Amino acid sequence: MNNTSVNVSLTYTSDIHGHIMPINYGTNEESANGLARYATAVKQIRSTHDNVIVLDNGDLIQGTPLMTHYVKEHPHEVNPIIQAMNKINIDASVIGNHEFNFGQSILQAAMKQSDFPWLAANVLDAETKEPKYGPPYMIKTLKDGIKVAILGVTTHYIPNWESPEHIADIHFRDAYETVKTWVPSIHKKEQPDLLVVSYHGGFERDIHTGEATETLTGENQGYAICQIKGIDVLLTGHQHRQLTGTVHDVLVIQPGNNATLYGKVDIQFTKSAAGWQIIDKKASLHNLAQTPPDQEIVHLTKEVEASTQQWLDQPVGYIKGDMTIDDPLQARTRKHPFIEFIQKVQMEASGADISVTALLNNDSKGFSQTVTMRDVVANYMYPNTLVVLELQGADIRAALEKSAAYFTLNENGAIVVNPAFEKPKPQHYNYDMWEGVTYTINVAKPIGNRVEKLCYHGKPITEKENYHVVLNNYRASGGGDYSMFKNKPVVKEIQKDAVELIRAYFEKNQTVDATVTDNFKVTAEA
């Protein structure tokens, strides 16, 4: 029998986060990303390759003002990002953790509109323990008869972040255990020539050395999954990293976020008497900067995009003074009026007199004199709601010590960001600032022993005393490894998201003074 060589190309996206149009909504300038550009790339690949599989790896429907506006104002119309994916004609998507942010009805409507299956072998109906939203895996048989199995799983850590009502009646089974169960079962039943695991999760260890790169909570299990026999390719996401490599002969890849890049896997097969054999596999990442947007996708999105732009340009309030941010490190080492503003919004909405917030990323510019919805969503990009927890003084101190690890000293003794908060993934949002208490963080002291002069109403905070604290739902559930907040008594929940709360604050207070209460400082006193 003559050996025949056949190439299979798998292209995929992960962590699109609502980016369809090549637009930076904060500045309204053109950006080098988005599904419209990706659609062009997929057309090009399909025109030059015979065997193409196109997948999405989750965190698709949430993340841009366009998607926020769609959910708030147009939820009964077709979901624009599903419409785009249908046009691209993808083969399947995986459920990501952010798919639950808008609640189950929006997610179910999105799935109903999808011309493709959603795979999630470990997102189970709590009662039946069967996959709740779609098949655990799919089989695609290509024209040469090559049989490809794609198993979808998502990080089971979702209950640590998501509002309980958004995930009611769902059981998230351990992703690693799920893959371990399904891989041999798929091989036995389907006998595929290629088995791909599409995992909305990332790597807990360095893919080259195997050393742990984070606390092993189970949030990311990519490295462990690669130990399971029978997997040819592991597609990953969730961490917004850019990587390709091989772990235990499993080809691994992760294509960043926001459709700035896409991942491509090329598998070469040869046919022998025993059937199709893999003789080579390669993974590559492709930038979309030079790829023009697909005009069909642009046209399909036109109406909801125009409506979004109109919404974004609405002035919602005015600032007297200066709330702009020039230096994100400075905005974290000493009290900034923009941070104080967010704390005031949270305290007014909740009635609590202790508040916790973060500067969510280094692109936040704060507010200039006229504040539009564009400014609000550019600075607060997550659909967080608020929770008031009853915490003990010991919890407050532990949380502040956790935040204090954000800083380190460079060789000149200057305060800088701890590299652990920047690599492998930027996590600036995991440094919190507190209002309603006074404290000092001394970076010259060892991590875990940096918080000094911690007081409430001028008196030292005591370990056993109870305090009511308002914080966002991500942090309140322990997100960012803030385990001291887990399972604490909930005093109150505020079911409006941050963007709505900020808008409501401006409706009540049309002009807001930029004020600073110096309740904390970050120092390096030996």
- List pLDDT tens digits, range 193-210: 999 999 999 999 999 999
- Residues 328 and 280 both lie in one domain: no
Question: How many helices and strands in the chain, by DSSP H and E?
Answer: 13, 32
- Residues 372 and 276 both lie in one domain: no
- Residues 302 and 322 both lie in one domain: no
Determine contact, residues 259/268, Cβ cutoff 8 Å: no
DSSP state of 124: E
- Residues 326 and 228 both lie in one domain: no
Question: Is the predicted pLDDT of residue 280 greater than 60, yes or no?
Answer: yes
What token pair was written down for 317?
């309030």
What token pair was written down for 312?
């974004």
Q: Kindly report the CATH number assigned to the domain that includes residue 158.
A: 3.60.21.10
The model's pLDDT over 96-140, given as tens digits with 9 standing for 90+, comes to 999 998 999 999 999 999 999 999 999 999 999 999 999 999 999
The model's pLDDT over 365-424, given as tens digits with 9 standing for 90+, comes to 999 999 999 999 889 887 788 999 999 999 999 999 999 999 999 999 999 999 999 988
Q: What percent of the chain has pLDDT over 70?
A: 99
- Mean pLDDT of all residues in the chain? 95
**The pLDDT value given to residue 3:** 58
| Alpha-helical runs (H) found in 328-372 | 328-333, 337-350
* Final residue in a domain of this structure, among 309, 337, 371: 309
Question: Is the predicted pLDDT of residue 526 greater than 90, yes or no?
Answer: no
- Residues 376 and 338 both lie in one domain: yes
Q: How many domains does the chain have?
A: 2
Of the candidates 331, 316, 424, the residue with the CA atom closest to the CA atom of residue 371: 316
What token pair was written down for 482?
């803030």
**The pLDDT value given to residue 513:** 97
* Final residue in a domain of this structure, among 285, 309, 333: 309
DSSP state of 131: B
- Residues 303 and 400 both lie in one domain: no
Q: Kindly report the CATH number assigned to the domain that includes residue 375.
A: 3.90.780.10
Determine contact, residues 364/484, Cβ cutoff 8 Å: no
Element (H, E) at 253: strand 250-255
- Residues 296 and 359 both lie in one domain: no
Element (H, E) at 248: none
The pLDDT confidence band at residue 1, using thresholds 50, 70 and 90, is: very low
Q: What are phi and psi of 342, to 5 degrees?
A: -60, -40
The model's pLDDT over 7-33, given as tens digits with 9 standing for 90+, comes to 999 999 999 999 999 999 888 899 999
- Tell me how far apart the alpha carbons of residues 419 and 6 are, in angstroms, rounded to a whole number: 44
Compute the residue count for the chain. Answer: 526
- Tell me how far apart the alpha carbons of residues 481 and 203 are, in angstroms, rounded to a whole number: 16
Question: Is the predicted pLDDT of residue 2 greater than 70, yes or no?
Answer: no
- Tell me how far apart the alpha carbons of residues 97 and 427 are, in angstroms, rounded to a whole number: 17
Write out the residue range of the structural domain in which residue 460 sits.
315-523
Nearest-10 crossing angle of helices 80-88, 35-48: 10
**The pLDDT value given to residue 254:** 98
- Residues 275 and 322 both lie in one domain: no
- Residues 279 and 348 both lie in one domain: no
Give how far the C-alpha of residue 252 lies from the chain's centroid of Cα atoms, to the nearest Å.
20
**The pLDDT value given to residue 403:** 98
- Residues 208 and 337 both lie in one domain: no
DSSP state of 334: B
Question: Is the predicted pLDDT of residue 231 greater than 80, yes or no?
Answer: yes
339: Cβ–Cβ under 8 A, 6 or more apart, which residues?
A: 331, 357, 359, 433
Question: Is the predicted pLDDT of residue 273 greater than 90, yes or no?
Answer: no
Give how far the C-alpha of residue 499 lies from the chain's centroid of Cα atoms, to the nearest Å.
18
**The pLDDT value given to residue 27:** 83
**The pLDDT value given to residue 385:** 87
**The pLDDT value given to residue 484:** 97
Q: What percent of the chain has pLDDT over 90?
A: 87
* Final residue in a domain of this structure, among 265, 290, 309: 309
Determine contact, residues 328/359, Cβ cutoff 8 Å: yes
Q: What are phi and psi of 447, to 5 degrees?
A: -55, 135
Averaged pLDDT for residues 420-447: 95
- Tell me how far apart the alpha carbons of residues 359 and 350 are, in angstroms, rounded to a whole number: 20
- Tell me how far apart the alpha carbons of residues 431 and 434 are, in angstroms, rounded to a whole number: 10
What token pair was written down for 130?
């069967």
344: Cβ–Cβ under 8 A, 6 or more apart, which residues?
A: 435, 505
**The pLDDT value given to residue 272:** 87
The model's pLDDT over 67-80, given as tens digits with 9 standing for 90+, comes to 999 998 999 999 99
- Residues 296 and 148 both lie in one domain: yes
Averaged pLDDT for residues 222-233: 98
**The pLDDT value given to residue 382:** 79
- Residues 189 and 59 both lie in one domain: yes
Averaged pLDDT for residues 458-463: 95
Q: What are phi and psi of 404, to 5 degrees?
A: -65, -20
The residue assigned the tokens 């942010």 is 101
The model's pLDDT over 78-88, given as tens digits with 9 standing for 90+, comes to 999 999 999 99
